[in-house]
Each structure stands twice: as C-alpha cells, then as structure tokens.
Amino acid sequence: SQQGEEDPQALSIQEGENATMNCSYKTSINNLQWYRQNSGRGLVHLILIRSNEREKHSGRLRVTLDTSKKSSSLLITASRAADTASYFCATDGDNYGQNFVFGPGTRLSVLP
Amino acid sequence: NAGVTQTPKFRVLKTGQSMTLLCAQDMNHEYMYWYRQDPGMGLRLIHYSVGEGTTAKGEVPDGYNVSRLKKQNFLLGLESAAPSQTSVYFCASSHGTTWNEQFFGPGTRLTVL
C-alpha cells in the first residue's frame, strides 16, 4: 500500500500563478522528500524536509510539513511553463530507512 | 560523471521471453533500487540493494530477480515475461538510507506482447 497520496491528481494554471500540491501519508516518518518528473524522464530530487522541521525553502519552492496531520504541501511560486511536470512525494517506508514509498503524483500543467 | 544509466532504453518482448535490464552508477553509491511506473500508480519498488552482494524484496517483487555482483551495477531480470510486466522501469541509487536523495536513471520502456 502506498504511504503518500498527492492531491490534486492534476492541476492546470497560468504562467505566473502559484501552484500548491499536497501530500498525505499514513504512518510516522523521519523525513519527506519531493521529486519532479518531466515527461518521459527519470525523477529529480527537489527538496527534503525532516520530521522536526515545519517549513523549508529552495528558490521558488516552499515545502511545509505538519506531522500532526500527516501532511505536506509543495508550493511553487511564480510558475513557469518549464515547471510543467509530475510531482511526487516520497516518505520513509517502515523498513529502517532502507527505502522510500512514492505517492501517485500530481500532474502540473503551466500554460503560457 | 554519467550518474545513473540504464540499458536498454526500449524493448519489446513476447510472452515467455526473458531479458535483463542493466543499471549502472558511477557515484560510488551503496544503495540501488529498481522501480516500475504504471499510469496513475506512481513508482512501486520491485527490489533493492543496500550494498554489493545484497538484495531485498520491495513491494512488487514477483516475476523479477536481481543481482548486485558489483557495487556499481544492479541487474533486473525477467525470467518469463508476462503482459502485466509492461511498464516503464526506473533504476535509482543513493549514498545511503532515506536521509539521502535518490538519483534516477532515464528509464526503460518495456512492452510485453
């Protein structure tokens, strides 16, 4: 069973707007990571947030983590057409940190 | 520095045929992973390895075998391919546990007829 579930499944916005994606998970975690996948390519790591952190920034990306609600959000500000991709959250499995569990992803389309 | 590479990029098999997918990394990573990605399903872990000579089952291991004879290589084998194994396969590697990011290969698109 999947640990993380992204919401929404698909999101379409105009260039310049902000995009927010959410990830919910079921069991306690040590950290949560977000990845991006451009069409037909492998995943690329975006950001890691530890369980004792509430917010983290990287360029136009802002990630929040609420461990009491078992949820995280990824905000992309001032979106660009190049941000069009699928975004996945990945959480620790219950296997002593040996592997991740990925959610089904959010497909983001940024229209010019 | 090529990162993670996968061979082949595309393959079409007939039901019952066998094949091996090769993953290679040049980052001296200890951990390596094989995933499959199906539409709407995200990535599901098939097998993984936490070091040379070790392998472990992931979420969907049935119908697949793996070997990690050299630290830089992780092989995924299909002994008798089935249409249900039609998917895109991704290899990934990381320096260590889930405190580290994973680096992904470009994927192998496999079709089983």
Task: Write down the pLDDT at residue A110.
Answer: 97
pLDDT of residue A1: 44
CA B109: distance to chain centroid?
12
Q: State yes or no: pLDDT of B95 exceeds 70.
A: yes
Q: Chain B partners of A92 at a C-beta cutoff of 8 Å?
A: 98
Inter-chain contact A42–B43, Cβ cutoff 8 Å?
A: no
**CA–CA distance, A59 with A43 (Å, rounded to integer):** 19
**CA–CA gap between residue B2 and residue B75 (Å, rounded):** 18
Would you call A43 and B41 a contact, using CB atoms and an 8 Å cutoff? Answer: no
- Give the pLDDT of residue B96: 81
Which tens digit of pLDDT belongs to each residue from B9-26? 999 999 999 999 999 999
Cα B5 to the center of its chain, rounded Å: 11
Tell me the pLDDT of chain B averaged across its residues: 94
Q: Do A31 and B92 touch (CB under 8 A)?
A: no
SS (H, E, C) B25-44: ECCCCCEEEEEEEECCCEEE
Q: Determine the average pLDDT of the residues in A50-75.
A: 96
